Amino acid sequence: MQVRGANNGISVNVTAGTYVVFFGLDATPAAREDLLGFAFRRVDHTEAGTPGADRWLLGSKVFRAIEPAPEPGEGFPSNIHPVQSFVWSDYAAKEGHSYTYFIHPMYGPYDQRRLGDPVEVAVRTEEDDDGDHAVFFNRGAVASQAYMQKFKTSIRPPEPDNPDHAQTAWLSRGLFEALRRFVADAGPGDKLRVAAYEFHYLPVIRMLRDAQKKGVDVRIVYESGAKSKQPGAADTQATIDNKKALAGPEADFDPGTLIPRTKRSKIPHNKFIVKVRGNEAIEVWTGSTNFSMSGFLGQANTGHLMRDKRVAGEFLDYWTQMASDPEPADMKAWTAEHSPDPGDDLPVGTTTLFSPRKGAKLLEWYGTRAVHQDKPWLFTAAFGLNAKTNAMHARLVDPRDHLRFILMEKDEDNILPALRVQDPNISVAVGSVLGRDGKQREIPGWDLQNWHREIHFRGTRGHVFYVHQKFLVVDPLGDDPLVFAGSANFSKDSLSSNDENMLLIRGDKRVAHIYFTEFDRLFRHFLYRKAANANAGGGAAADDNRFLAMDGTWVEKHFRDGSYQTKRREMFK
């Protein structure tokens, strides 16, 4: 939801997702005089009377005169150490809660600082499991100061196969729990039809086995192919891991449950489950989350549950076709008939899109949808950005006057320096931990004296460590947003060679707000790490970044013509 408020020259535009509340602030010239920042007080009406229900929210920067040596990873009350930004988010919100926020400007001079009258806004965060679209994001940030602060350790959970262990549940952040509820809802006589690429997380295997034992008809199409069609070709890593897990004692499924997928051009990259009741498909779970440990606990991932019989039925038809393990040409012929290319005027609501398809011309379609109205967009690039070979990427990086945002796994081809020159209005965050580069190597000269040392969940094994989501959101705060999300990486192979699925959602502001606020959370998490790593060995100058300005000079860049901060303020105010 979105609400606005204003008082004494300070205005705020608030967007509430599920676990994030986003604030876009603005101030008149008079209200900017001697402005030291903003203090945020939050009253939780859903948990009224409990400790912390009425409290000052925390920021990460401090006045040096008050906190000359801040503790690693600690937050500080914003009524003492204000937020010096016109864009800020509450990342400690809870889903389905009613809040009132009081946003106080803090005025100087520093030695006489005081809080001005607040802007008061009442919001309710979205419920993640609600309505036709239920959307779930895992933490996606095991390499975080919050994890270290909460559990006093940097190692991964000691019981990753126990979803109820505190550390495991913290990382899942409701994603696995939502899938567990989805499966547990199936009863005797119901059917679950699973399409899986990586299928080796024991808790998922257990829950589907348990569903079958209570009378649910379970069938699972899973990756069991080789790297190529050459005789004797090696198995894919997913095939190796799947075979190992399915040979274990916990995978004692009934005969005929497991359906190997082998006759595909590249990889069967789906991750969905269709629920069928009374011979009618009623719901489908999809998204970017592989049924793997890293899928739920390591990489940033999304689960998207649709309670729409038409959409679920289309997924069921697609699954039924795949269950025969068809040759690529036959699969492409089926999608050409049953999942045609969308037109230029995408209908309001949800359109399904399945692969493999004949060619990859939809990359141009995706790119055109993003840029044709000159609206801001948010894009996740799990496998980098290459405008030379990807028609969608080429459209995205066409220079524009407004800001756009990309969250990337890594800059493998070192394109970002040239992209900044070509279009400084594209802001990019890249997955990283503090003190290590994208390949998990320690950065020489990185001084971690003010931070906990971070170790990524996956160590050094794997291809995708941070950003595994696959979505594009266009005009997220507008009246007619677009959300394109699913299993596909917006690549040629994802269209023409892989088994894939996508949801093309137009006009659903609730869904757009959830994706937008979660993107903001992850984007700023990794943007800070990118900046901190770039300042490795910066000494006192880098350390100064932890401290607040003691006067109103911080405001200037937010109102300077053409600055990034000005464009960002104007976009979200």
Within-domain flag for 59: yes
> What does the alpha-carbon distance between residue 487 and residue 469 come to, in Å, rounded to a whole number?
8
Encoded tokens for 184: 């547990």
Query: Between helices 328-338 and 309-322, what is the axis angle to 10°?
Result: 160
Q: What is the CA radius of gyration of the chain?
A: 24
> What does the alpha-carbon distance between residue 427 and residue 523 come to, in Å, rounded to a whole number?
10
Within-domain flag for 148: yes
Same domain, 177 and 316: yes
Single out the residue in 72, 96, 124 at which a domain terminates: 124
Paired residues of 10 in beta bridges? 7, 27
Strands (E), 248-345: 258-261, 271-277, 280-287, 302-306
Q: Would strands 404-408 and 426-430 be described as parallel, antiparallel, or unpaired?
A: parallel
> What does the alpha-carbon distance between residue 285 and residue 297 come to, in Å, rounded to a whole number?
18
Within-domain flag for 187: yes
Which pLDDT score, from 0 to 100, does residue 541 have?
Answer: 45
Within-domain flag for 334: no
Single out the residue in 88, 106, 124 at which a domain terminates: 124
Same domain, 142 and 114: no
How far the first Cα of the chain sits from its last, in Å, is 15
Count of all residues that appear for the chain in the document: 573
Integer angstrom CA distances of residue 399 from 377, 404, 414, 423: 13, 10, 19, 5
Q: What is the domain range of residue 500?
A: 362-555
> What does the alpha-carbon distance between residue 563 and residue 457 come to, in Å, rounded to a whole number?
37
Query: Between helices 202-213 and 175-184, what is the axis angle to 10°?
Result: 10
Single out the residue in 271, 305, 325 at which a domain terminates: 325
Within-domain flag for 356: no
Integer angstrom CA distances of residue 287 from 33, 331, 418: 47, 21, 32
Same domain, 395 and 308: no
Residue partners of 256: CB distance under 8 A and separation at least 6:
219
**Short-list 84, 77, 34, 72, CA closest to 547:** 84
From first to last of the 573 residues of the chain, give the pLDDT tens digit.
999 999 999 999 999 999 999 999 999 999 999 999 999 999 999 999 999 999 999 998 999 999 998 877 688 999 999 999 999 999 999 999 999 999 999 999 999 999 999 999 999 999 999 889 999 999 987 657 777 778 877 667 889 999 999 999 999 999 999 999 999 999 999 999 999 999 999 999 999 999 999 999 999 999 999 999 888 899 999 999 999 999 999 999 999 999 999 999 999 999 999 999 999 999 999 999 999 999 999 899 999 999 999 999 999 999 999 999 999 999 999 999 999 999 999 999 999 999 999 999 999 999 999 998 889 999 999 888 888 899 999 999 999 999 999 999 888 777 888 888 889 999 999 887 777 766 667 777 666 555 656 666 655 566 788 899 999 999 999 999 999 999 999 999 999 999 999 999 999 999 999 999 999 999 998 888 777 777 665 444 445 778 999 999 999 999 999 999 999 999 999
- Count the domains in the chain: 3
> What does the alpha-carbon distance between residue 113 and residue 35 come to, in Å, rounded to a whole number?
9
Same domain, 188 and 244: yes
Count of C-beta atoms within a 10 Å radius of residue 143? 26
